[in-house]
A and B are shown apart, each in its own frame.
Chain A
């Protein structure tokens, strides 16, 4: 006797969170069944494998029907097909748009194009996340990107409004969109020690300080692109390293105030010029798209690595960057105080976030 048809329709749509997770993780019905078997569910409930199989199938069918709606979460809220209490709707959406850390690290900063999608099987092998799940996550990124790319207003708010995500998840997506748009390089070996959270934090800092929306929230509120004018102006900072006197003065100011406070004073003193050059050079080059992409590599190669090799502690770095930034204000010959602050506050936040093992 074979079952041609086996379905269950509840007045409120029945959703098993465990099965939903298995489905999201891209397991086939049979894999999901064997995973559920291993969880000992049969022993707990006294059910049989047949029951489990049919239950899993039924849930998968429901999820499959829900998926179309999940692509536009507002549709899920308004549809009349499935009666789902609001809290469950939120759970469905949140979980559908959740992503794996390992996956996002692979894709972050890449162009969300067909080409990248084709390479997902490599990502899948590398991260041991199923290809199906990779595709879902990738499509989510792309879908969010497409919707908010050209939109005015706060990036996070836009995402929240259109995809009904939690604040946290919306922030993460904002970072992903921001990275994808500017195509920051994050995949290099040297950057592997950085987590998605590090990048997301940096992205937030950059969105808050370096985009058009950061300076003028009323007009042309665009959170996605860096403020070109600002990048152009950054060239002016070069004076800090090209003017020999200014550089020396800056160094002496920093050294004086840090003496006795920083544990790596000698190393700092010896390295000051290199570090200062690195930071200022980065600023002056950010107008080039190529250098924007390499932003994080530059930060790591030119600042973090030298400091690490000299065994700076996080506190040392913090003291140094604070002093380094504020001392510039006392340089009478240096006029770009506002610009300097706008640049350095973000750099400082990013570096401090990134300075770990």
Chain B
């Protein structure tokens, strides 16, 4: 009985007219939590009712506090007929459950109806009194913090990084229940909306429990996804990295370095007059943060069994958590796991993409696995074990790929699905890596784990580390041993190959590192992580995309799954080739933040890969692209080829200039022995689940050294070359990347604009071929980018960061592309001011930063989207989730006024806001909307499970 929830309904405004006769509304409010409902009085005849209700008190278990949303329903009172619903507000009270966060949620909330959209607003005050329960965290996990950022959140430091956590919750989709045939669409939408809230709450609570079990206190890199499987159910799943975070005390010495513009030249200690970007060297051990893995438990997979006890507790009619009885094959898997348990703990997955310097020792390359599954074959669809087993299988595969690359960890790990009818593609990818073995020693082995250094903005953890020593006194000695002075030099160490040179997992062309000349490096590096802070790059980075469509025959069930499985390797291959070509064309040698999305539709497969290309100084200069014709005797053809070649060479030269890539010339002899057979190297290990563990190698052995050869032997190849050249660079003043920040830009200014853009395109022609399809898709994406550049031209010079493309195939011949990104302006003049903002100022701001600011203006950015009339679709079965990527809602006070008005809420998918400092994270906000639009006889629901996280208040410099 450890909590009391108190709710007060203050007032409403701008309500819709519900009574035609009087043009007014007699509104009252129902407040529901769990099974308890309270009602306010009817406030007659007003569109701006003032209820000023008493405090409604709910005495509830904290378990329910975590699972249940607070439901506020606004109704119009009718004396004679049934009361009409105006709309609802769901309030996730999770932010109130952290000890250090808000104590009250109050403010105006939009009243939302699944049919009509927003209908007025309501002013609500919500408070929670938590009683401390010593027998705590049996079922609940209040107080565990969730962060969607894929780096250690600012204003915290990681004491321990424990490792991977996952959970999965399944329930029957109300949309497919028998009762749906007789109830109203509104009732069905609301049932669904409530269920989704509930499941998400339950999922979070269960993850929290695992976190507590692992002795962590937070989940970083939390990634939550919904799979709307249709008939077989609704799945909510999440992965994350468990950490023990310690709040950096807000006192005295917060260094002023969080204005990103100063980051570049600023070394950790402000006092040091010699800016030395790459030195985490000598100073590091002094300011290290403790960081370690707790080796005691591995949570990659056994977790599902370990929480069996949990799921056995009856839960209000919901499908249970991810546990239950193990199915046959799953059992076998488990046994296998226990055997490898020891191995597993040295083999952690990390959803983080940014790491403290010294953490990453080597990066092996991208590992990915995909698996095609049939949803209608799930034996017991309401139980999670089948899906658990599926994911376990895939993770196992990822692990073995990483091992093949000589790596013991996977970083930048993520999972995704694509569902079309009964076929589901599960995908997982990450970057195989070797982590500093010192970090992996037992217990509280500490390392030089600041949050990201100099190049990463928003870094201000330094000052507070002093207290650290007291905290872990035993670490003092070891700290001096640590860090970077050992094997790998800071700027290039992560590029060095982790695998044995003589026993390479795939053919690769190795040279000695261009930076330290001691170790071998590959000539290209693909990764899913952000550019490490200490990495040395030349010039700027750019967004590189590979886009691909493949037609497939419409088929049913097994045949369908087989044809998809057969297509996947080819798609991966082509995507990879495209990426490689485009990378070369840009004159760059490494990809970061690689994300390959494969989308399955009725009659086609789409592949979209996005990454940020950079030039790493440690890797060799990429060779050009050579074109070779197949019919050398034809003069005209020859001419054509040479023309193309010239064009390509020109493009490369132009790109080098554009991205300021001018590596110093290095005499040939210094570079390590040339390998006899240069070839294209693939750092991409992939496989289909159907194809067991066979590792596909991409081996294109072509003739010339250091030049990548494209053979034009048919029209396909011709198309490929053409499509290479059609990518237009962004207009002057624009840069784009899909990582958190743009390599090579450091002086951000404070203007940011997060946005989402959606395009739905109908393919008109009936006789689609792969070529036309590819061209259409390519044009669609390019045009979308172009229109973004145009829209945001007033922000020049600016960079689109964290560009995230999502492709969906909602119907036959319809492609939907969604882009979410944030545009950040920067100062062209590279003015790197080193001004220090006095600490007092920070303090002042911090103190004014009281809870009055805690109004929650909810940003309903999905609404204009879903209110668009959608073209007639097939039927209600066509539910599509448009999984808009996580956006992070942030509260920011306006620089000019220190009082409590929030004029603009800034949202960003990044872990920082330029020019602002995060002083407090208010908690994760999960929002779900179902909106129904009716066009003639057709009915269609668009649902966007959306995630806003980490709302934070931050005074501004």
Contacts and interface: CB of A to CB of B under 8 A. Distances in A.
Given A78-B13, A83-B904, A9 B757 contact: yes
A14 to B, nearest CB: 6
Chain B interface, >50% SS class: mixed
B790 interface: yes
Nearest to A84: B904
Interface string B848-874: 000000000111111111001011000
B303 interface: no
A93 to B, nearest CB: 16
Nearest to A6: B759
B787 A1 contact: no
A55 B790 CA distance: 8
Given A1-B776, A2-B761, A8 B787 contact: yes
Contact of A8 (B110, B786, B791, B903): B791
A46 B786 CA distance: 9
A11 B14 contact: no
B905 A9 contact: no
A51 B753 contact: no
Interface in B179-231: none
Interface string A194-209: 0000000000000000
B758 A10 contact: no
Contact of A9 (B761, B776, B816, B864): B864
Given A1-B764, A2-B762, A80-B121, A7 B731 contact: no
B764 A2 contact: yes
B176 interface: no
Interface string A82-96: 010110000000000
Contacts of A11: 753-755, 859, 861, 905-907
A14 B861 contact: no
A80 B108 contact: yes
Contact of A4 (B760, B789, B864, B904): B760
Contact of B793 (A9, A12, A45): A45
Contact of B861 (A3, A5, A9, A54): A9
A186 B443 CA distance: 90
Contact of A12 (B118, B816, B904): B904
B763 interface: yes
Among B764, B776, B790, B814, the one with the most A-chain Cβ atoms within 10 Å of its Cβ is B790
Contacts of A45: 731, 789-790, 793
A239 interface: no
Chain A interface, >50% SS class: mixed
Contacts of B779: 1
Interface of B: 13-14, 108, 110, 118, 121, 731, 753-764, 776, 779-780, 783, 786-794, 814, 816, 857-865, 868, 870-871, 903-907
B757 A7 contact: yes
B23 to A, nearest CB: 15
Interface in A300-338: none
A52 B783 CA distance: 11
Contact of B753 (A5, A7, A12): A12
Interface string A282-299: 000000000000000000
A9 B790 contact: no
Contacts of B763: 1
B757 A51 contact: no
B860 A80 contact: yes
Contacts of A47: 731, 786-787, 789-790
Interface in A62-76: 65, 75
A38 interface: no
A266 interface: no
A7 B787 contact: no
A52 B789 CA distance: 11
Among A9, A16, A54, A86, the one with the most B-chain Cβ atoms within 10 Å of its Cβ is A9
A47 B788 CA distance: 10
A81 interface: yes
A3 B793 contact: no
15 contacts: A2-B761, A3-B760, A4-B761, A6-B759, A7-B758, A9-B864, A11-B755, A11-B861, A47-B790, A48-B783, A51-B786, A51-B790, A80-B858, A83-B857, A83-B904
Nearest to B908: A11
A190 B881 CA distance: 67
A50 interface: yes
B871 A51 contact: no
Nearest to B814: A4
Contacts of A7: 757-758, 864-865, 868
A58 B792 CA distance: 13
Contacts of B758: 5-7
A80 B857 contact: yes
A45 B761 CA distance: 25
Interface of A: 1-12, 14, 16, 45-48, 50-52, 54-55, 58, 65, 75, 78-81, 83, 85-86
A3 B790 contact: no
Contacts of A50: 783
Given A1-B764, A80-B110, A83-B904, A10 B787 contact: no
Contacts of A3: 759-762
Contacts of B861: 9, 11
A28 B307 CA distance: 62
A7 B870 CA distance: 12
Given A4-B871, A5-B758, A80-B121, A10 B753 contact: yes
Nearest to B776: A1
Given A8-B791, A11-B754, A51-B790, A85 B759 contact: no
Contacts of B754: 10-11
B932 to A, nearest CB: 17
B859 A83 contact: yes
B603 to A, nearest CB: 16
B862 to A, nearest CB: 8
A31 B814 CA distance: 30
Contact of A81 (B753, B860, B870, B871): B860
A86 B896 CA distance: 13
Nearest to A65: B864
B870 to A, nearest CB: 7
Given A51-B786, A80-B858, A81-B118, A4 B108 contact: no
Contacts of A8: 755-757, 787-788, 791
Given A8-B755, A80-B110, A14 B791 contact: yes
Contact of A48 (B110, B786, B907): B786
Nearest to B864: A9
Contacts of B756: 8-9
A3 B792 CA distance: 21
A216 B760 CA distance: 64
Given A9-B864, A55-B791, A65-B864, 10 more contacts: A3-B761, A3-B762, A5-B870, A7-B757, A7-B868, A11-B754, A14-B755, A47-B786, A47-B789, A85-B904
Contacts of B862: 9
Contacts of A4: 760-762, 814, 871
B780 A1 contact: yes
A1 B903 contact: no
B825 to A, nearest CB: 13
B760 A5 contact: yes
B868 A5 contact: yes
Nearest to A83: B904
A65 B783 CA distance: 25
A10 B751 CA distance: 13
Contacts of A12: 753, 904
B870 A86 contact: no
A8 B762 CA distance: 18
A79 B121 CA distance: 8
B893 to A, nearest CB: 14
A1 B776 CA distance: 7
Nearest to B108: A80
Contacts of A14: 753, 755, 791-792
Nearest to B772: A1
B483 to A, nearest CB: 39
A269 to B, nearest CB: 64
